[in-house]
Structure 1
Amino acid sequence: MALRWMIYGAYGYSGKLIARQAKKRGYSPILAGRNGDALAEFAQHLQLSFNEFPLNDVNSIKAQLADVDLVVNCAGPFSRTAAPLMHACIASKTHYLDITGEIDIFEYAHSLNEQAKQAGVVLCPGVGFDVIPTDCVAARLNAQMPDATHLALGFDSGSRMSRGTAKTSVERLGQGGAARINSLIETVPLAWKDREIDFGSGKKKVAMTIPWGDVSTAFYTTEIPNIEVYIPASPRLVKRLRRLNWVRFIFNGQWVQKKLKAKIDAQSEGPDDKERDKNPTYVWGEVSNGRGDRKEMRVKVKNGYSVTAEGAVEMAIYTLEHADKGGFYTPSRLYGAKLLDQYLID
């Protein structure tokens, strides 16, 4: 079949990585976004076609997707771009993927499950590092312990964040943390819990809970009712964040958000090829049940941004070739936990 798909937000850091990966594999996606100048320059560099359009109106977006079979949304923060694109994709019968890690976006996509089913459209957010490796680890652990009641996931990497990831983190800061408790997503304090974890390097590290996307997606993958996600953090950082809980509401202010994002814009857009190659990611998971049984899994995967580039392309092609039924999916439910194997390293 002819694969006609689009990368929206193609001139951002992750969008560029995904577009280059697609080109490397011999595909020719349409590059799209709001900035025509940036699009034209990057499209010319890759010798790909491009389409400039904003996401202000669902009907106008639908018209732009009339002859597009699938969209990979790379334009974050996704709190601004995901909803209009999802609705336009359902209306135009275009499959929707994105690389978000935002809990609210996963939940919103899940709320559109029935509409997507009726339209025969796949909605699968999180087809990058957020959340492919952790989602697949969750699925494999659940297969080993089907009666698990608690799931903990985590990852450790020395890689810097991209500007887009950093902005998303800033947006979330004022809202606090999040965890799945008795099947419901609950707001919890920043650095709600801490524990020592060996993520896979052979050394235990102090780690704290974060509001990672698996708080949403791992529940739909496994139906485990209690889910937490951890990253390494120094004891000093844990203390600072816990003190910040008393005043975290100030980070919701428009002026504060603008100032913090301006600082992020002054930084480099993300890790370069050498930095990504030098910084793999360790992914860890643990399940337990009501009897006190416990199982762990540790894997070492490519750098998160490399997983995002390769994963988004792989999921796009797989969806175009295998999407028989529409609806909301997590990566491992759509592709299978075997997806993880492509990104494992020794």
Structure 2
Amino acid sequence: MTSNVLIIGGSGRIGRSVANDLLRHTEVTMTLTGRRSKPAFELQSRQRYQRLPLVDQAKVRDAIAQHDLVIHCAGPFRSRDFNILAQCIEQKKTYIDVADSPDYVREALAFNTVAQAAGVTCIVSTGVFPGISNSMVRQGIEQLDQAHHVHLSYLVAGSGGAGITVMRTTFTELQTPFEAKVNGQTIMIKPYSEREILSFPEPYNKGAGLYWFNTVEAFTLIKSFPQLNSVITKFGSLPDAYNHLTGLMTFLPSSWLQQPTTIEFLSQVSYAMTQVTDRFSGTGIAMRLAIQGYHQDQAVTYLATATHPDTAEAAGYGTGSVAQLLLTGQITQPGVRPVEQVLPTTLFEKTLAERGLTIERAIHPESLHPESLHPDK
């Protein structure tokens, strides 16, 4: 496993988490890129740094040519073009990313036929959510005889340790309603609406609210598992005060939220606030999955939870494990696909176990309402 890996956006918090995971679980050498002439962090063994402005397509093309695997961690993805993905396909270089923008992923998936013809494996949205969350759904569906309803919920403490890009993504996704499949019908959902409180494991059981949020999983899971009648994705922050502040932003005129200057102002203010509150809230993540379906001729609810004290590090696990499996030839599937279509559950469980991330799972009779169950007890 002596391949050369290019981590675009490797100087950011997510990119560095991916790089750290590769250091622990592979023998690859890697190039971390960023906008600055020098990195603002200390490079580790088998790492080098390269200043790589993404607008310089010639330099991007040359950088891709010198590596075997390209991992795209630069965000926010909604405003990115597809030059890197297209170049990887043209140069027959394996590609993965941590894309969290539904708009970006929809357009990226349109490259599927071209990538298949070129024999290039491209896997999108490989972080924690999307990423690990998608594979948790596949894992759960495979435990049931039939699955029809998926409810995914995420709680992130403070900044999640992921930097200001996450703030920009959050405020960007508040701009417009989005489509969701609920009870077999495609409906339009207002972002950050329909607050609810669900049970999470400690220390994430503080009663924080969860709200509808536009996620990649909401549409890729429907395509990957067409038997599903509903895919609900909700998100919330700790402390809960951040949820109320974010919800207030949805009442701003839509034209304001579509202004880059407004998004940047809100992101900078929010990030500054989390730099204070992270000290007592932490930067962890809790994920909760409920799947309603049938098991052994009985209506049941499959319930799974996973937590980690550092959201960015967990994202590194998701992307790093996919990279590890690609580099060792354990997965390969030409085309552009979401992770749940490419990563078998056996390998998903194996790589998470190597990283010490545990998914708590149980199947309950549906006579118990799924939201009344307490996986932390």
TM value normalised by structure 1: 0.83
Tell me, in whole angstroms, the C-alpha distance in 2 between the residues paired with 1:240 and 1:67: 43
For structure 1, the 5+ residue unaligned runs are none
Quote the residue 2:118 is aligned against: 119
Is 1:312 aligned to residue 319 of structure 2? yes
Quote the residue 1:179 is aligned against: 180
CA RMSD of aligned residues (A): 3.5
Quote the residue 1:287 is aligned against: 292
Tell me, in whole angstroms, the C-alpha distance in 2 between the residues paired with 1:119 and 1:270: 48
Tell me, in whole angstroms, the C-alpha distance in 1 between the residues paired with 2:184 and 2:248: 25
Change (3 A) 1:168 1:188: same
1:1-346 paired onto structure 2 within 5 Å: 2-25=2-25, 26-38=27-39, 42=41, 44=43, 46=45, 48-56=47-55, 58=57, 60-81=59-80, 83-145=82-144, 147-161=146-160, 162=162, 163-180=164-181, 187-201=188-202, 206-223=209-226, 224-232=228-236, 237=243, 241=247, 244-245=250-251, 247-264=253-270, 266=272, 268=275, 275-276=282-283, 279=284, 281-288=286-293, 293-303=299-309, 304-322=311-329, 323-338=331-346, 339-340=348-349, 341-342=352-353, 343-344=357-358
Query: How far off is 1:192 after superposition?
Result: 3.7
Change (3 A) 1:265 1:30: same
Bigger Cα displacement from structure 2, 173-182 vs 101-110: 173-182
Change (3 A) 1:327 1:4: same
Tell me, in whole angstroms, the C-alpha distance in 1 between the residues paired with 2:186 and 2:86: 24
SS class of match (1:56): coil
SS class of match (2:74): coil
Tell me, in whole angstroms, the C-alpha distance in 2 between the residues paired with 1:240 and 1:55: 31
Tell me, in whole angstroms, the C-alpha distance in 1 between the residues paired with 2:188 and 2:107: 17
Q: In the alignment, residue 258 of structure 1 is paired with which amino acid?
A: E
Tell me, in whole angstroms, the C-alpha distance in 1 between the residues paired with 2:184 and 2:118: 28
For structure 2, the 5+ residue unaligned runs are 361-377
Task: Please say if residues 142 and 287 of structure 1, whose CA atoms lie closer than 8 Å, have aligned partners that are also in contact.
Answer: no
Tell me, in whole angstroms, the C-alpha distance in 2 between the residues paired with 1:287 and 1:318: 31
SS class of match (1:215): helix
SS class of match (1:36): coil
SS class of match (2:33): strand
Query: How far off is 1:296 after superposition?
Result: 2.6
